[in-house]
């Protein structure tokens, strides 16, 4: 029995000794000279530095707050920055844009309206156009990748790309004569409102359609520099006391300087497919008419901004303000054609439609100096040391762009329809109107740091 107790005592002593040795391994080491047999502090590690190292580990990693819940605190990390040298962000976007304004494109009149007045504004009703389209919410995505260039998280590089899904609207109407369908314009030859008939009882039947769509995307790369960081646990780090905010864990401000690319493009396609019913030399002729208007805006320039981030426990609040300065290349392309198919002959393709004829067809370009401001706000929650979830709001404004819809001139010389005069008469013409574009919306995302 005594031998058994002796073995139990020895085992217990070994376990206790092992725990004591492992517990003190971080701060103590065996003395180098042989025979000393005593443990001494490591020469290059003082008691103060040991305490700071312990604080760093305790505060930078998740810890227990005594109530059974896990907490995250970034105080003590370089420049009030979450752990990790690299970061990757992925966002889902739900944004809105100001869209494009359309002129009246398709009209109708009550059955019984004289053919000369059918579809003529202002008495006619607008079936499509005279409105703003492509304004609905749309989904998109954004990705950001960055890294710190130094251990103090003072200098960093990041790149981002985002794209909004293509927004498109489609209108199409077929009629054998009821309802009446027409395409309105202003007749500069006779100085009055006029129209081209698509369908009218016993005169014409056919289809008219309008397709409008737009697309927006952006990319950029930037260098960031920490201007100021403030640690609410230990006081200010690299700036004066005026930078510190009371009751906050920590905060930092970074200057951003880099390159920015934006592209916004939209288009309008107006098409009609008409068969002539009226007796005469053009009876049973088929007319296929297309008017195409396309606009593209491409921005290249430098970007400067300021990112302010506040951390408190697991929560973070970020405000990003940026402005891009550079050149916008505006490009407008106008093209039209008419395919005439007689009943017993081959089709003939003619240059020009109704609103796009030789007088305004072609490609037009222009360069404009542009400033594009942007504001972003994010509210984040630190899930653990490596992952953060956030929700935010963004808005940007782009002045001096061209919309395809605003390049449609409803002043038409009917002598250019259906066959353009040579030389072409001056209407319709290229308006060259300039407008603006804005986009705003919500984002939800995840950030990983490693």
Neighbours of 139 (CB within 10 A): 11
Report the candidate in 132, 300, 336, 92 with the shortest Cα–Cα distance to residue 214: 132
Sign, CA torsion 111/117/118/120: negative
- Least-confidence region, from 27-31, 143-147, 311-315: 27-31
Q: Confidence band (pLDDT; 50, 70, 90) for 425?
A: confident
Q: Calculate the average pLDDT of the chain.
A: 83
pLDDT of residue 424: 64
- Least-confidence region, from 17-26, 245-254, 261-270, 418-427: 17-26
**pLDDT per position as a tens digit, 200-254:** 999 999 999 999 999 999 999 999 999 988 765 444 444 443 344 434 578 899 9
pLDDT of residue 313: 84
Note if the bond before 339 is cis, omega within 30 degrees.
no
- Least-confidence region, from 31-45, 313-327, 355-369: 31-45
H-state helical runs in 24-74: 47-60
pLDDT of residue 14: 41
Q: Confidence band (pLDDT; 50, 70, 90) for 367?
A: very high
Report the candidate in 18, 77, 57 with the shortest Cα–Cα distance to residue 311: 77
Tell me the domain boundaries of the chain: 86-449
* Six-digit token string for 360: 């305004």
pLDDT of residue 77: 56
**pLDDT per position as a tens digit, 377-419:** 999 999 988 999 999 999 999 999 999 999 999 999 988 876 6
Report the candidate in 362, 331, 366 with the shortest Cα–Cα distance to residue 424: 362
Q: Phi first, then psi: give them for residue 52, nearest 5 degrees.
A: -65, -40
- Inform me whether the pLDDT recorded for 25 exceeds 80: no
* CA dist., res. 96 & res. 98, Å (int): 7
Taking a C-beta distance cutoff of 8 angstroms, is the pair 352, 420 a contact? Answer: yes
Distances (CA, A) of 336 to 199, 229, 273, 354, 418: 21, 60, 14, 8, 11
Strand-pairing partners, residue 194, are 185
DSSP 29: E
Q: Confidence band (pLDDT; 50, 70, 90) for 165?
A: confident
- Inform me whether the pLDDT recorded for 362 exceeds 60: yes
The CATH number of 86-449 is: 2.40.128.90
pLDDT of residue 48: 43
Taking a C-beta distance cutoff of 8 angstroms, is the pair 261, 300 a contact? Answer: yes
Q: How far is CA 332 from the centre of its chain?
A: 22
* CA dist., res. 427 & res. 352, Å (int): 12
Taking a C-beta distance cutoff of 8 angstroms, is the pair 439, 97 a contact? Answer: yes
pLDDT, average across residues 146-152:
91
pLDDT of residue 375: 98
Q: Confidence band (pLDDT; 50, 70, 90) for 44?
A: very low
Report the candidate in 297, 273, 267, 289 with the shortest Cα–Cα distance to residue 169: 267
Q: Confidence band (pLDDT; 50, 70, 90) for 55?
A: very low
Taking a C-beta distance cutoff of 8 angstroms, is the pair 398, 436 a contact? Answer: yes
pLDDT of residue 171: 97
Q: Confidence band (pLDDT; 50, 70, 90) for 93?
A: very high
Report the candidate in 399, 263, 415 with the shortest Cα–Cα distance to residue 352: 415
* CA dist., res. 71 & res. 69, Å (int): 6
First to last CA, the chain: 57
**pLDDT per position as a tens digit, 115-130:** 999 999 999 999 999 9
pLDDT, average across residues 443-450:
96
């Amino acid at each position: 029995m005594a031998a058994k107790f002796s073995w139990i005592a020895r085992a217990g002593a070994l376990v206790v000794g092992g725990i004591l040795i492992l517990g003190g391994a971080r701060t103590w080491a065996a003395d180098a000279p042989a025979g000393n047999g005593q443990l001494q502090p490591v020469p290059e590690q003082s008691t103060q530095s040991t305490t700071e190292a312990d604080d760093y580990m305790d505060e930078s990693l998740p810890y227990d707050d005594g109530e059974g819940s896990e907490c995250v605190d970034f105080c003590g990390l370089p420049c009030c920055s979450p752990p990790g040298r690299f970061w990757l962000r992925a966002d889902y976007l739900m944004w809105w844009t100001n869209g494009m304004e359309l002129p009246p494109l398709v009209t109708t009149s009550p059955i019984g309206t004289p053919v000369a007045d059918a579809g003529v504004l202002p008495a006619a009703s607008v079936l499509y156009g005279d409105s703003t389209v492509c304004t609905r919410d749309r989904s998109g995505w954004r990705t950001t990748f960055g890294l710190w260039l130094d251990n103090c998280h003072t200098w960093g590089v990041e790149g981002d790309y985002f794209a909004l899904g293509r927004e498109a609207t489609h209108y199409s109407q077929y009629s054998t004569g009821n309802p009446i369908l027409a395409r309105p314009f202003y007749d500069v030859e006779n100085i009055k409102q006029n129209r081209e008939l698509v369908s009218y009882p016993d005169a014409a039947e056919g289809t008219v359609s309008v397709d409008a769509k737009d697309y927006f995307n952006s990319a950029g790369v930037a260098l960031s520099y920490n201007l100021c960081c403030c640690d609410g646990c230990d006081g200010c780090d690299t700036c004066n006391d005026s930078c510190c905010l009371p009751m906050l864990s920590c905060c930092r401000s970074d200057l951003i300087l880099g390159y920015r690319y934006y592209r916004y493009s939209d288009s309008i396609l107006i098409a009609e497919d008409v068969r002539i019913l009226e007796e005469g030399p053009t009876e049973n002729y088929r007319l296929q008419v297309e008017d195409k208007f396309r606009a593209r805006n491409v921005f290249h320039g430098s970007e400067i901004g300021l990112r302010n981030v506040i951390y408190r426990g697991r929560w973070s609040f970020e405000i990003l303000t940026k402005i891009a300065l550079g050149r916008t290349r505006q490009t407008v392309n106008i093209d039209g054609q008419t395919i005439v198919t007689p009943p017993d002959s081959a089709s003939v393709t003619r240059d020009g439609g109704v609103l796009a004829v030789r007088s305004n067809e072609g490609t037009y370009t222009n360069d404009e100096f542009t400033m594009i401001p942007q504001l972003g706000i994010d509210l984040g929650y630190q899930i653990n040391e490596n992952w953060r979830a956030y929700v935010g709001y963004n808005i940007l404004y782009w002045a001096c762009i061209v919309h395809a819809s605003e390049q449609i001139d409803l002043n038409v010389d009917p002598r250019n329809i259906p066959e353009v005069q040579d030389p072409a008469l001056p209407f319709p013409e290229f308006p060259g109107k300039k407008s603006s574009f804005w986009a705003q919306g919500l984002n939800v995302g995840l950030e990983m740091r490693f």
